[in-house]
Amino acid sequence: MLITNLHVQNMKASDMWDLERIGIADEVQTFSKAVEDQLVQEQFLKGLSRYEDGRYCVSLPWVLKFPPNIASNRHIAEKKAICHYTEIKEIGLL
């Protein structure tokens, strides 16, 4: 059995939840602001295009460290639309 004690005398209670203070460091490398700005600008230029009619199309700007993971909510929206349609029809507004 492994028992670990954390002896704290001069520490605020809120500091005990700060991972860096208790020795747990994030292994993910952090970019400097200049490097991150350069990467964001490159991502913007890659996602920039222009239609034949002169309008611009720009992709959504995602944070580079966390790729988008957006779930579809189409089925939920369809169920709500059907429910609202039924309610409106029942009260005679349709």
Q: Which tens digit of pLDDT belongs to each residue from 13-46?
A: 666 666 665 566 555 555 577 887 888 888 888 8
Residues ≥6 apart with Cβ < 8 Å to 58: 44, 47, 48
- Render 41-63 in DSSP notation, one character per residue: HHHHHHTEEE-TTS-EEE-----
Q: How far apart are CA 80 and CA 21, in angstroms?
A: 47
pLDDT confidence tier of residue 87, bands split at 50, 70 and 90: very high
Residues ≥6 apart with Cβ < 8 Å to 15: 21
Q: How far apart are CA 65 and CA 46, in angstroms?
A: 17
pTM: 0.35
Q: How many helices (H) and strands (E) does the chain have?
A: 2, 2
